[in-house]
Structure 1
């Protein structure tokens, strides 16, 4: 029987990704929407999650697509109502609230899934498998895009908890934490804050793993023209490059064949499997690296940003 799921927060990512994937999935039925921005034809619509949970729609699960600053209360309400919960990335505004939700989900016997869509980019699994058997010399991440293209008019993203440039940057960190065979940690960094914003517009970070391999990451929201989403890994057997957000894989100069892009289909397949097995998946390692950047990175003030 298909899992009856409701979407909370019908913004761009929900309309572009969640809705079409759910509608095409054999595992899910889209049963209701809760949003301040309107609903979808022929579906029950609610203005908030409280009303949706009180409705008579037979929901088994919810997908939470609101900004992270308001997601905790919605997730808590859903868990207490016995619903499985899919968290858009990042899973929360703080590490502590995500830990609280994970404990609550375990206590109530429901699935909690902290989703990282970039891990399901078509080149990532093959990259992870290849690197597992290689000696790595260094890693360089370059994740630069135009915020005016990808997040126009979204004031929440510049507020504390909205992550700023780490909203896309955390996608890169979700890939690197997944493909690297050993954990790594921050050494230092610089976070550039527009003087009129509460979140950074750029960040330059330096990490190392426990064997001394250097890892650098450059995130910037001011890039115009072609966008850059690249991860380069130098190994003794040649360079591995994941480009275009992980969808294109090159190894030792040779382009690798990859499956068609289906990041959100991969997420929902994973969520369905977790629900079937009664398990949760709440990996916060990408968010932990962002928190470490705020803890250890030097703050510099740059020119104001106007949308």
Structure 2
């Protein structure tokens, strides 16, 4: 088993990363870095520099920090010769992720920009079915409750926090994985709360007749759906890519999101074994293009 350190012990780390590492036969959680969070029975450090100095035996670091502070932590780990896994989105800007990739290559270590929704149970089958088919239109509805998934986390609505694109990029990560031809952003409309620096909702028009509707104000059941019309039938992915429908009929998957992170850590183990990198920025490019082209609307102030 390889030793791994988890940096940033917030909700996503507790809900997904810790259970995935604990259930894996390939990993042992040997340390954490957090100012406030803790994992029972695991040594904790307040600063990543302290971890890197004290634990040279830990060769892999998984970063669950918010996007803005993540770059400095990733640089420190890569310069110390550690393999690094990045929670999505991989960074606050495209340029900084390119810089991390260059650093990883220079150091001869792994950098994995993970996209957990690509590991959803029906995504691979959807990609196979769409291969060679013509997309004639599609619609994405990705609406969830920010209070449920990011309770009190003001950083997500600060500059660089991405707002509704934090979940929306999950949909775009699936889209960029399964489409036979790449999509482009044609136009966008972004709703910014009057007291915030990142959007709470967004509507995108993409090439191939695809539209996307992202909203962080959903209450009750969450909605993570996408549907596509092709020259030979329709395909739908539901439950965040975990359930597949072909021409309105069930075609595979399960009503659960709990298999995504174990798949990410299995892939990370494969990359580390080869000191290889996996850094695909196409979902982040679409988000950046939406910000560049987006028309900004001011909407009601938002408070947690």
TM-score computed with the length of structure 2 as normaliser: 0.97
Indicate conservation of the 8 Å contact 2:130/2:180, yes or no: yes
1:57 CA displacement: 5.7
Deviations 1:164-223 (A, max 9, x none): 000000000000000001112111110000100000011011111xxxx21111101122
Indicate conservation of the 8 Å contact 2:10/2:37, yes or no: no
Deviations 1:109-142 (A, max 9, x none): 0000000000011111100010003222112111
Deviations 1:47-77 (A, max 9, x none): 1111111113610100000101100000000
Residue 72 (structure 1) aligns with: 71
Structure 2: runs of 5+ lacking an equivalent: none
Equivalent residue in structure 2 for 1:285, among 266, 275, 282 = 282
Aligned residues: 302
Report the Cα distance in structure 2 between the residues aligned to 1:196 and 1:43, rounded to whole angstroms: 39
Residue 133 (structure 1) aligns with: 132
Report the Cα distance in structure 2 between the residues aligned to 1:92 and 1:136, rounded to whole angstroms: 30
Is the partner of 1:58 in helix, strand or coil?
Answer: coil
Equivalent residue in structure 1 for 2:216, among 218, 221, 242 = 221
Indicate conservation of the 8 Å contact 2:245/2:252, yes or no: no
Residue 267 (structure 1) aligns with: 264
Report the Cα distance in structure 2 between the residues aligned to 1:79 and 1:170, rounded to whole angstroms: 25
Instruction: Calculate the aligned-residue CA RMSD, in Å.
Output: 1.1
Is the partner of 2:301 in helix, strand or coil?
Answer: coil
Residue 252 (structure 2) aligns with: 257
Report the Cα distance in structure 2 between the residues aligned to 1:5 and 1:92, rounded to whole angstroms: 21
1:25 CA displacement: 1.1
Indicate conservation of the 8 Å contact 2:11/2:150, yes or no: no
Residue 83 (structure 1) aligns with: 82
Residue 33 (structure 2) aligns with: 34
1:89 CA displacement: 0.4
Report the Cα distance in structure 2 between the residues aligned to 1:4 and 1:148, rounded to whole angstroms: 33
Matched, 1:238 2:203: no
Report the Cα distance in structure 2 between the residues aligned to 1:174 and 1:257, rounded to whole angstroms: 20
Higher mean alpha-carbon deviation, 23-32 vs 62-71, is at 23-32
Indicate conservation of the 8 Å contact 1:83/1:110, yes or no: yes
Residue 16 (structure 1) aligns with: 15
Report the Cα distance in structure 1 between the residues aligned to 2:76 and 2:118, rounded to whole angstroms: 28
Q: How does 1:23-172 map to 2 (within 5 A)?
A: 23-56=22-55, 58-172=57-171
Deviations 1:92-114 (A, max 9, x none): 00000000000000000000000
Report the Cα distance in structure 1 between the residues aligned to 2:124 and 2:198, rounded to whole angstroms: 32
Indicate conservation of the 8 Å contact 2:133/2:180, yes or no: no
Q: How does 1:171-182 map to 2 (within 5 A)?
A: 171-182=170-181
Structure 1: runs of 5+ lacking an equivalent: none
Indicate conservation of the 8 Å contact 1:237/1:252, yes or no: no
Is the partner of 2:184 in helix, strand or coil?
Answer: strand
1:275 CA displacement: 0.9
